[in-house]
Structure 1
């Protein structure tokens, strides 16, 4: 049996999960992806792209007998068509050559396989309107913004020197925001709260992490200027080691998201010892105990105000929730069991 992995938003935690599954399911694993851009368009149109690019195979998972028989008939018919040049696999349109075991990334998408499986890729198709947690070895996606590269040169990431010689009470509270630089993560609310702290002359440092894409909300450049010396780090960290170092040095991790199905970044930060503050909405109440949730920006401000005055409170705090269940050690067997399950007739 072959495992087919499809990811229409191959970046961030989505990429992390796909890479992890492909690494752990080494035998007979095919990964088909699209770049991590234009989330809403991917949700609407990615299926149209994948239906033309996913390699046809009777070996994929969860295929009942009646569907296998139908697929075999379809493949048999297509074998005799001019547009299909290889037995059992879709051919390239307009005479493009078949690619085997492709590991080449394109803006329009990617299909790659472990040794032993054939894959195809249609380079000419337009893209749609052009996870479990594991502190893994894999590197994060490289989709950075040019302005962030400049920031990284100016803001050398050396927290140990910055904070050396200060005890728990002297060191300003270190706040981390490790999310995509997009509006659905509500950076406006986050920076509004930080600027309120700044107006009251409360001491804190902030590390604004996470990926950027083609369009970056204006609030980021505005906030960076307004926060001034409070900024400890600003920009995406391509190295996982640097990223986890930043989280390990932070005291509090904050989410202001308006759209979140799970929130891998928040769980990772908790693993790294951060005190989480999340909206009392979306998926967060299912994961975090009540004391780590806030209902309004005003509540978030008050919590941070207290922590700025007494940073030692969060530094001595032991997280009261459960994190072990999100690790690969706990979930790996469940994924393998799911992907190896017998097909059912109701599928």
Structure 2
């Protein structure tokens, strides 16, 4: 059922304080839920109205009308914050008392480039609604530079689908309102779950001094030949405990079981590793939905002897425990606007391999990016042969910059009644 909370305050505040910030979320689940909960817990004077994370298409079409009837009038509101699932244009037209608020629209994704199997399958209305919402917003926030740039640069071509009398200069009207503010990831304390070799590297990573000789800074090289994908050991290779040294490489794929995450590429790469008689283990995690791609059933049969974990783990601790045990995390996504799963895996000490596209170059240095399926195969082939390279590597991604502690001040400014 819907969740209507008149106001939620910080622990130091009295419950009688009047609500100042109106948080509206038509799709209260996943990262959308986590963000609303985080804002409610940390920003004083919030009033929250949500709908369950079901039937996304209907939420995008009809939530504005529902909220227009259920959000009570309140003279103390100063800011309205919502994800771009909401048709904000409809809401403020139906509720003129909300039109004068500072309206902040947050994009977890954008419908102008969200992948569909065929372009004719794309429902024009969803992207059109997002454009309209931007036009009535005061601030338009994107979780990544890629999300913002891809949205703004696609407006013109998207509007060309209108047969005639097309609107003009929409990008120029929207761009001055736009800012990038990364999604705040809530990383758990994983120190008690990390194996010894990961604990040492975590300690070194957070030390401001130069890493001592006991930790490796090795990384994969694209220039090497197919049979030698991993650079030679150097004197700074971290010694790995004997019990870990003998284990095969553990590869994890922690993504939604849908076509836009390109599981076909992931599984075809693993099957090539199997054909080469390379030793590895795999954990395939992530949520499943109604239409699971057929490749998963086939892959489970063909890779059965390599599988450690298969399927969604409803317990967050169990999920994090698998990430802590894994050596390498792989993304094969054809779309990604931010990528919480990859950052969570890196926080758990996994060596990342991502496409050199989408949001990934914003977050991951070039050494973790691959441009072709063959490059992905070569990277994994090298690590299968020498898994200690991944186990001794200090990942050069500062996950702390994506935490609430780092981003809190910017969100507080965003939800202030004045300012950007």
Common fold: TM-score over 0.5: yes
State the SS of the aligned residue for 2:352.
strand
Tell me by how many angstroms 1:320 deviates: 1.4
Matched with 1:295 is 371
1:236 aligns with 2:254: no
Aligned counterparts of 1:8 and 1:299: Cα–Cα separation in 2:
40
**Any residues of structure 2 matched to 1:1-347 within 5 Å, and which?**
1-25=19-43, 27-35=45-53, 37-38=55-56, 47=64, 50-51=67-68, 53-62=70-79, 71-72=96-97, 131-135=183-187, 167-342=243-418
Conserved 8 A contact 2:413-2:419: no
Cα deviation for residue 46 of structure 1 reads 5.0
Distance (Å, rounded) in 2 between the aligned partners of 1:49 and 1:308: 53
Alpha carbons of structure 1 residues 275 and 229: separation in structure 2 relative to 1, 3 Å: same
Q: CA deviation at 1:230?
A: 0.6
Q: Are residues 10 and 181 of structure 1, via their aligned partners in 2, closer, same or farther at CA, if it must alter by over 3 Å?
A: farther
**Aligned equivalents of 1:184, 1:332: Cα separation in 2:** 31
Q: Which runs of 4+ in 1 moved over 2 A?
A: 1-29, 40-63, 70-74, 165-169
Per the alignment, do residues 55 and 280 of structure 1 end up closer, same or farther by CA in structure 2, a change over 3 Å counting? farther
**TM-score of the two chains, using structure 2 as the length reference:** 0.55
Per-residue CA shift, 1:133-178, capped at 9, x if unaligned?
11359xxxxxxxxxxxxxxxxxxxxx99xxxx96333111111111
Q: CA deviation at 1:188?
A: 1.2
Deviation at 1:272, TM superposition (A): 0.6
- Structure 2, unaligned runs of 5 or more: 1-18, 81-91, 100-182, 196-240
**Alpha-carbon separation, structure 2, partners of 1:181 and 1:272:** 22
Q: Counterparts of 2:41 and 2:311 in 1: how far apart (Å)?
A: 28
- How far 1:286 moved relative to its partner? 0.6
Higher relative contact order (CA 8 A, sep 6+): 1
Separation in structure 1 between the aligned mates of residue 387 and residue 66 of structure 2, nearest angstrom: 50
Q: Determine if contact 2:27/2:50 at 8 Å carries over to the other structure.
A: no
| Alpha-carbon shift at residue 196 of structure 1 (Å) | 1.1
Equivalences, count = 258
Cα distance, 1:290 vs. partner? 0.5
Per-residue Cα deviation, 1:62-118 (whole angstroms, up to 9, x for no partner): 37xxx89x83499xxxxxxxxxxxxxxxxxxxxxxxxxxxxxxxxxxxxxxxxxxxx
- Counterpart-to-counterpart distance in 1, 2:290 and 2:73: 33
In structure 2, how many angstroms separate the alpha carbons of the residues matched to 1:73 and 1:186? 41
Deviation at 1:15, TM superposition (A): 2.7
Q: Please, which runs of 5 or more residues in structure 1 have no aligned partner?
A: 75-130, 138-158
Deviates more, 1:316-325 or 1:334-343: 334-343
Q: Displacement, 1:36? A: 5.0
Deviation at 1:332, TM superposition (A): 1.9
Decide whether aligned partners of structure 1 residues 211 and 54 sit closer, same or farther in structure 2, where only a CA change above 3 A counts. Answer: farther
CA RMSD of aligned residues (A): 3.0
Question: In structure 2, what is the Cα distance between the partners aligned to 1:240 and 1:319?
Answer: 23
